[in-house]
Structure 1
Amino acid sequence: MSTQSIDPVKLAGAKSKGKRPWFLEDTDVERLMNITHALVQEVAVIRERMDTIERLLERDGKVTKESIEAYKPARFEADERGLLMQEYIARVFRIMQQDVEAASMPDEASSAEVAEEFAQTD
């Protein structure tokens, strides 16, 4: 198949048959969450490719598309990438983790409440 016959918009719009299932009450929130997840995934891919480019430059001093596609990280490199990816995902979704932690500490004051308390003291 030639690249001229590929329609990226049509491919991006491909979906399973049937109605789309909704999991959240607010479909707008779910749409935003899906967009966010897609962006997070794209950035993760870019980060991994950038890591590949940096490693190839360090090792060989040059990079080609073929060398990027053929690159297979050594075990220690894959472990480093895995840790970096875990840290990235934790930063992106830290608000969710903070909500879980806050639910386990219902009596803890919010930052707004603490600020208001300091503002009221003379």
Structure 2
Amino acid sequence: MVELQKKARGQRPSYFEDPAVDKLMAITLALTGEVAVLRDRIDTIERLSAEGKSISPEAVDAYEPDEKVREIRNALRDTYLDVVLRIVHQEREELEHQLANQPYDDVVTTVSTN
């Protein structure tokens, strides 16, 4: 088994003015990743069950999804991430809309001060 580093090296990147928002976003994304893994494992259990195979932790860990299953899971994951990150996408789209309607020099000033 590969031993992964538990902590990132260097300073944590900051994306928001309030560090608490960065922490909350990191927590949210970590939980989102865990839920995505759980969804894949549940899908594996359902597929093994539908095939009449035994369900055990070893069987779930050993399951290798084929290309079609990977595509289905990827599409579900993309939709799931869109839902979780909807507010972030909406704010980005609003900013893009605002910037698209400003003269170039104003856009440069807005981006450089944020």
Percent identity (aligned): 38
Return the index of the structure with the highest Cα Rg.
1
Measured at CA, do residues 22 and 100 of structure 1 come closer, stay the same or move farther in structure 2, by a change above 3 Å?
A: closer
Secondary structure of 1:62's counterpart equals: coil
The C-alpha deviation readout for 1:10-34, integer Å capped at 9, x for no partner, is xxxx42455x334133211111111
Measured at CA, do residues 82 and 29 of structure 1 come closer, stay the same or move farther in structure 2, by a change above 3 Å?
A: same
1:23 aligns with 2:51: no
Structure 2 CA distance for aligned equivalents of residues 61 and 74 of structure 1: 16
Kindly report structure 1 stretches of 4+ aligned residues shifted beyond 6 Å. none
Unmatched 5+ stretches in structure 2: 1-5, 100-114
1:43-122 equivalences in 2 (<5 Å): 43-103=35-95, 104=97
Structure 2 CA distance for aligned equivalents of residues 16 and 93 of structure 1: 23
RMSD of aligned residue pairs (Cα, Å): 2.2
Measured at CA, do residues 45 and 22 of structure 1 come closer, stay the same or move farther in structure 2, by a change above 3 Å?
A: same
Structure 2 CA distance for aligned equivalents of residues 44 and 70 of structure 1: 18
| Structure 1 residue 66: Cα displacement | 1.2
Aligned residue-pair number: 93
TM-score normalized with structure 2 length: 0.71
Measured at CA, do residues 22 and 101 of structure 1 come closer, stay the same or move farther in structure 2, by a change above 3 Å?
A: closer
Q: Which amino acid aligns with 2:21?
A: V
The C-alpha deviation readout for 1:67-98, integer Å capped at 9, x for no partner, is 10110011111111111111111111011111
Which has the bigger relative contact order, CA under 8 A and spacing at least 6?
A: 2
